[in-house]
Amino acid sequence: MADDRRNNVKPTGRGNPPVEHQFKPGNPGRPEGSRNKLGEQFLSDLLASWEANGPDVIDRFVRTGASQV
């Protein structure tokens, strides 16, 4: 039964990426700590925004909905 469901899937026509786009040993990739730096900056900005106008924004959201905030 599970095999019947698999046969209904249409292939996307996409194969493997070209060789020049594939991971190669020795490729440095993303700089170490860059993901953490982005997350820390986002949380820092979010905290600053919350401290400036958090309760007001939540009250406005409850009264008017997300499209008006």
pTM of the model: 0.40
Tally the domains of the chain.
1
Give the residue numbers spanning the domain of 66.
40-69
pLDDT higher than 60, residue 12: yes
pLDDT higher than 60, residue 4: no
Take residue 19 and report the two structure tokens written for it: 């060789």
Q: Is there a domain that residue 7 lies in?
A: no
> Is the separation of the CB atoms in 69 and 57 below 8 Å?
yes
Share of the chain above pLDDT 90, in %: 0
Q: Is there a domain that residue 1 lies in?
A: no
pLDDT higher than 60, residue 3: no
How do residues 44-66 score in pLDDT, each as one tens digit?
A: 888 888 888 888 887 887 888 76
Q: What is the pLDDT of residue 58?
A: 78
